Amino acid sequence: MAGCETVSGEAMATFAGDVVVVTGAAMGIGEATAMGFAALGAKVACLDLDEAAARQTAERAMAVHAGCVAMGLACDVADEAAGCGALERVVEAFGGLHVLINNAGITRDRTALKLASGDFRAVLDVNLTGTFLMAQAAATFMKTQRYGRIINTSSINARGKFGQANYAASKAGVIGLTRTLAIEWARYGITVNAVAPGFVRTAMTAAIPEPVKDEAITKIPVGRIAEAEEIARVHRFFADRHSAYITGQVLVVDGGRTLV
């Protein structure tokens, strides 16, 4: 199918006929993921807090990949009504919902004794509760199709990270959530998996001072920071129709960082 060749190394993968929703699709990993699915024939719905930016991703996907169908919608994943409403619009426009990439996430870093309860809750609301609410809304549709792929986003910092009590708690929560939903929804043909990235070059990590980045790279066996596309590839792996026997798994993509 047209566009397959643009995603190197995945000559046979295709998502033609699949409707893929990506949250936090305005930039970073979400944008790369939306572009990758568009390249492989999916109908892609780009959701983000920023509607104009979500539409831009969709427009770029359609401009780059001839024949691609994409839409951009405003959606705060932490807002239950907004999430359900957005997915309803996607199903109405595209006729189904096969893949949900729960990618939206935020940080509000502060050491624990200085961490305001509002910043603790805000991160849990988006990263964990938002992931649950979007998964629940998506599974309601997917159950009727007896098919679905839900891919959540954890982080290697789920292990604990100085200055990230809120973020680490949220990303550790995503692992328990992923495994539980996998158990409950397998009977509906829905798989639920998660990716746990290490250090990825996006806006989220852009503010980290260069000396800190350089120091971090010395601890990564592969010797560099990941590109967003390298996480997007994992999304496509879990979303593949042939990945039906893989569920409840968390795939660490960190260049070996957690091995050392």
Query: Which residue ranges make up the site for ligand NAP (CB under 6 A)?
Result: 23-24, 26-30, 48-50, 75-78, 103-106, 126, 130, 153, 155, 197, 199-200, 202-205
In angstroms, what is the minimal distance from the CB of 103 to ligand NAP? 5
Exactly one of 147, 167, 188, 245 is catalytic; name it: 167
Which C-beta is closer to ligand NAP: that of 95 or that of 176? 176
CA-wise closest residue to 35 among 216, 175, 236, 206: 236
Which C-beta is closer to ligand NAP: that of 29 or that of 177? 29
Which C-beta is closer to ligand NAP: that of 135 or that of 200? 200
In angstroms, what is the minimal distance from the CB of 231 to ligand NAP? 7
In angstroms, what is the minimal distance from the CB of 28 to ligand NAP? 2
DSSP 56-81: HHHHHHHHHSTT-EEEEEE--TT-HH
Cβ(145)–Cβ(244) below 8 Å = no
| CA–CA separation, 50 and 72 (whole Å) | 9
| CA–CA separation, 14 and 22 (whole Å) | 17
Which C-beta is closer to ligand NAP: that of 31 or that of 147? 31
DSSP state of 27: S
Is 167 one of the annotated active-site residues of the chain?
A: yes
In DSSP terms, which residues pair with 22 in a beta bridge?
A: 46, 101
In DSSP terms, which residues pair with 192 in a beta bridge?
A: 150
Cα–Cα distances (Å) from 86 to 81, 97, 180, in that order, read: 8, 12, 24
Cα 77-80-84 angle, rounded to 5 deg: 90
Which C-beta is closer to ligand NAP: that of 147 or that of 151? 151
CA-wise closest residue to 260 among 222, 207, 210, 211: 222
Could you list the active site residues?
Answer: 167
